[in-house]
Structure 1
Amino acid sequence: MTNQTMREPHGSGRRTWAAVLVTLASSALCAGAPARAAEPAPYDARAAEVTVSGTHFVDGYGREVVLRGFNVSGETKLAENGGLPFASIEDARKSARALRELGGANSVRFLLSWAAAEPARGRVDEAYLARATAQLREFLAVGLRVYPDFHQDLFSRHIFDKDSWYSGDGAPRWVVQAGGYPRESCGICAHWGQNITQNQAVTKAMRDFWANRNGIQDAFLDTAQATMAYLAAHLDATELAQVAGFDPYNEPYAGQYASGEDGAAWEQGRLWPFYEKFRARMDAAGWRSKPALVEPNMFWNSNLSFMKQPGGLGGVGVLGPRYVFNTHFYDQARMSGFFNLTKAKDGEYAADFNAVRNRAAALNSPAIVSEFGHPLTGTSSDKAPSVLKGQYQALDSGLGGRAWWQNPAAAGPVVSATQWQWDIYSGRHHEAMNDNPNKIRTAGDAWNDEDLSAVRLDDAGTPVLRQDARLLDRLYPSAVAGHTLAFLYEDRSRDAGTATTWSRMPADMPESARLVGAELPYGVLVWRGGGGSGAPTELHLPAGFDPASTTVVSDLGTVTGPGTTGAIAVAPEPGGTRARRIVLSGAAEGLHFALVSAAPATAEQCAAVLRELGRWAAGAGLG
């Protein structure tokens, strides 16, 4: 698909869109100032800050914050750029800007390599940290919040032989050499992930890490502390304010359980003590005000019953503001290519993501799903549009689209998340697998035959999306002054060229249904005002929404083509890119709602929709 096609926001809806414009040509639009170019957003340190309050991320104004974005980048798993996400500062800058403008992100999970940071025992490579920090800084420069992650999969690439079918990443060579592990073998494995439980070299190395054999866990903690101290010393105060925390360890697993031990017991006896040690290292490195984004046993929420294990940090007590419940979700059944051959349906992932919501609530913690996604090539790739739509739907709301309008009070909180992954080098790698010059990998992610990157570079070196922009660049409540009660976004993304609608207006809201139509995206936010800071509520506005024809219908006012001032306005996202946001100001205590549609409307339409929405909100049990 060409770049021009990917950037076209409305695809097969263009004829409908043109017909709407003709109809409206002689009609008065909703009241509002004419849309005009906005001035660059000034830097606001209070808005950039992220801390934890109960079950929510909050900014310096006390607004509820939703973090949305991508993992940057799986390139860190490879050796071709020395464990760095990018080959150059210029590529990092290009990727960061594209992530903001094409992906609609406000945050990134930024991958780091232990192997590159500590190539020899006790020697932290400050040259690597300097290059990583310089690349990370490019994401901060465009207004993104960042949380680093010392990434690992299958413990280490150095466990694997040069002629192996698989590879790993994480621990340095010296760690593997000290372990004296047997020759690695996965046996009969259809997917690289089976090494986690079947490859004895991998499982023994994981066991050794949690047991701190040869002091390797202590070495990791020393390097993590040195890395955080380096970042604290080399980022200025405004940059450091945008660092949202640290993910201590990717996808933790025991490797081998002790006799009588299960996943929950291992979490309490091994994993949680490690997190407490990591938390202490954060404090010592000057990160006391930032949370540790801690992951449970990676199999606690598998959607394959034979892989699911006890866990979810259920036995560690309330986390408090110094930790965040951080987990992953993949549809392993569909990714397998044979356990589930169907496409995802409306509301299918509600139970999976409500399990995340419920676990976080029990821990009195915000939830963040730091990895989710689906392969874009291979036997299950035809499921990707529906799977990703379903996963985003479930992050936005704990209800399917058919149920949301009938019972929005049960929607639950909007969940923060970072999709796997954002790798501009997709399909253009040159990776010697396991350092074997005879096994050069270039396709996809160049790692264990994965291909999940949402972006690539075209032949001109310009980042372009590999997935529907409607699906990735989404409306979401990035900052809510008060408390979010319910949120819905119907992205109208395409699956095999057809617009997919899972969230339909009720029959008793005909004017609202006529406004949103059948092709263009729309969203609804209901919130309770409060907090007293005077800061507005904000929603990220996707690039597919032309500000000149975007309609907002709210108890705060109605407008098509919001201007740059007033109760309903369009403003640039921080960071100097072309990304934009809807700003809703002046909401006092009490119930508020806003419908945001990509379609223009007449004043009469807006008035009718406002009446319908008002009746609906009053009778929806939102309190």
Structure 2
Amino acid sequence: MAKMRARLIGLVILMTASLTTGSVPSAAAPAPDSLWFDEQAASAFTVEGGRFKDGLGREVVLRGYNVSGETKLEENGGLPFASVADAEKSATALRALGGGNAVRFLLSWAHAEPVRGQVDRAYLTAATAQLRAFLKTGIRVYPDFHQDLYSRHLFNKGSWYTGDGAPKWAVEAGGYPRESCGICLFWGQNITQNEAVKRATYDFWHNKGGVQDAFLATAQTTMAYFAEHLSAAEFAAVAGFDPYNEPHAGSYDSGQSSRAWERELLWPFYEKFRARMDAAGWQSKPAFVEPNLFWNSNLAFQKQEGGLLDAGTIGPRYVFNTHFYDHKAISGIFMWGKAADGQYAGDFGAVRDRAAGAGTAAVVSEFGHPLTGSVSDKAPTVGKAMYQALDSRLPGAAWWSRLQDSGPVLSGTQWQWDIYNGRHHELMNGNPDKVLTAADAWNDEDLSAVRLDDSGTALLRQDARLLDRLYPSATAGRVMAFTYEDRSRDGSKTLTWNPVPKSLPRVAELVGSGQYGLLLWRSDGTAAPTELHLPASFDTPRTTVVSDLGAVAGPPAYTRSTPIAVAPEPGGTGSRRLLLTAQNADGVHYALVTNGATAPSAAMLKGAQDELAAWAAGRAWS
């Protein structure tokens, strides 16, 4: 592995004096500091006290996307991209348009080990180069050896469905029956109805013919390759590894419950994977472990007991990693209306509680909703409700009065970010008569948040207000509460689920019809500033910050002595961050960030600041 080395980064923004108005109190800005903290230390990633932490001791929130479902396909050899240039284009767009600071990076076991016991170094080389494209843009990465329905090699050329994951040799060795799902309206039904998928999955967990051992060996070789071929700075930004996507028993042993299966087969597998991570040089990085995929299904007949309940206190070497899709909404049967304020507060609250019970941090590594098809009209509200639930465990209607119950901000990576959406050329199950070009080219799914236009320019397929969000990416201390009103649209309708209460008239006047976020955090003396990602919609002249640290319209460029400032985010993509420096002051701090006013007066800023100070002082913090 490359030797550890530290680099310092200079953060300078050229701004005119006209962009800073109405500061309370006003002061001449000193010259910017060109060297202010160790970039490599900031990139480091650990679990501590049930939260993610960077190397500067700040609480970290990961937000981003899965890159990409293209890995499930054969057209680019099991890689997310056709070239490094495409990976770089995707990474730049993800940072600048999608507001992401993290990706779940999909890998293919079938392509990493096409021949049993022989790892394809060319595949690992190509995957490393594409992964590096994201690290270069300041994006943290956690790889995932992805599988769905165990393997595409279980399916025949005329099948309605396909899978991905295990190599051909693993399927051929199993002698499985011809696959058939029977009457299946959704591809996921194969998990519990397709006898070939069920038997192959069962055999993996029982290590029939040493197939699980082979997978673990390939995973170790892959992780060791990354550790050796990434620079120390790049490797520091690799957050961890997701061992296995959406695990399910396939079939249970006689008398075995889903909870018992997690205890007897799934958790021992994770312990083995953890040992492989250690042997590969990943000792300081957590394993992002998933429970039974149906543990938190919102369909009662589908839900199965689980959530790694018997694993004990698993942190900090493990992260509680789960997915959430609204199966009721996707079904088109069990949810006729649209999502509303607080729709998923309970579902995501259960994720927070399960992680806390396990003594670790949580990540929702997949969530989303179809963007075309019969249920796509629900996507704007489902997406907003899911992001709302990541930000806080409270509905917007209750947040201002009960923010002590807001809970930690959850990390999450939306499914998915595929720049080839609608431009694929996939021979489904190798069939030249079934060439898939539309949507995600995968079992009729269409969930990618991005696409390329005819000129090759990346464009968002969802409302930018929904995707490019304000969020606390690194907090110097501990987040006490956070909310963000994105004002995203459902067609022509603006969705406002968290209006400023009438008891704060000056704050409401300042916010107006604009977007706003409010962060409350307890400082712990960490010297580095608190950082919030600034969406592109928060251009600097229209960004207003009202905080106990000051009140500023059009925040200035960062200096070490400026409590409220703007700076570029790492990676050179043009994305920006808001920096809040509490100057080692203890206690709870607050910061309202909005783009609702143009050049607000000093009196308006002072009035809003007084209201927020009195409101925050009235909260009882434990």
- TM-score, normalized by the shorter chain, greater than 0.5: yes
TM-score by length of 1: 0.94
Q: Does 1:578 align with 2:574?
A: yes
Partner residue, 2:12: none
Shift of 1:622: 2.7
In structure 2, give the amino acid aligned to 1:60: G
Aligned pair partner of 1:413 in 392, 408, 414:
408
1:131-163 Cα distance to aligned partner (Å, 9 max, x none)? 000000000000000000000000000000100
Please list every run of 5 or more consecutive structure 2 residues that lacks an aligned counterpart in the other structure: 1-17
In structure 1, give the amino acid aligned to 2:609: L
Aligned pair partner of 1:593 in 590, 593, 596:
590
Shift of 1:38: 11
Aligned pair partner of 1:296 in 291, 299, 311:
291
For residue 548 of structure 1, give the secondary structure of its aligned residue in structure 2: helix
Aligned pair partner of 2:73 in 68, 78, 83:
78
Aligned pair count?
597
Shift of 1:266: 0.2
1: CA distance, partners of 2:256 / 2:327: 25
1:395-415 Cα distance to aligned partner (Å, 9 max, x none)? 000000000000100000000
Partner residue, 1:567: 563
Shift of 1:533: 3.2
In structure 1, give the amino acid aligned to 2:429: N
Matching of residues 302-313 of structure 1 within 5 Å: 302-313=297-308
CA contact (8 A) 2:46 2:53 kept: yes
2: CA distance, partners of 1:554 / 1:39: 25
Partner residue, 2:539: 546
CA contact (8 A) 1:326 1:368 kept: yes
1: CA distance, partners of 2:252 / 2:22: 69
1:424-465 Cα distance to aligned partner (Å, 9 max, x none)? 000000000000000000111000000000000011100000
Matching of residues 186-335 of structure 1 within 5 Å: 186-335=181-330
Partner residue, 2:348: 353
Shift of 1:341: 1.6
In structure 1, give the amino acid aligned to 2:557: T
Aligned pair partner of 1:392 in 374, 387, 394:
387
Shift of 1:599: 2.5
CA contact (8 A) 1:552 1:597 kept: yes
For residue 407 of structure 1, give the secondary structure of its aligned residue in structure 2: helix
CA contact (8 A) 1:293 1:325 kept: yes
In structure 1, give the amino acid aligned to 2:533: H
TM-score by length of 2: 0.94
Partner residue, 1:527: 521
Runs of 4+ in 1 over 3 A off after TM superposition: 27-43
1: CA distance, partners of 2:31 / 2:136: 25
In structure 1, give the amino acid aligned to 2:214: A
Shift of 1:32: 6.9
Shift of 1:33: 6.7
Shift of 1:89: 0.7
In structure 2, give the amino acid aligned to 1:543: A
1:218-268 Cα distance to aligned partner (Å, 9 max, x none)? 000000000000000100100000000000000000000011111110000
Partner residue, 2:162: 167
Matching of residues 584-623 of structure 1 within 5 Å: 584-587=580-583, 588-600=585-597, 601-623=600-622
CA contact (8 A) 1:71 1:421 kept: yes
2: CA distance, partners of 1:322 / 1:410: 27
1: CA distance, partners of 2:267 / 2:354: 16
CA contact (8 A) 2:65 2:103 kept: yes
Partner residue, 2:500: 505
Aligned pair partner of 1:557 in 529, 550, 556:
550
Partner residue, 1:13: none
Shift of 1:549: 1.6
2: CA distance, partners of 1:54 / 1:225: 28
CA contact (8 A) 2:23 2:550 kept: no
1: CA distance, partners of 2:181 / 2:472: 44
1: CA distance, partners of 2:441 / 2:37: 40
For residue 542 of structure 2, give the secondary structure of its aligned residue in structure 1: coil
RMSD of aligned Cα (Å)? 1.8
CA contact (8 A) 1:32 1:563 kept: no
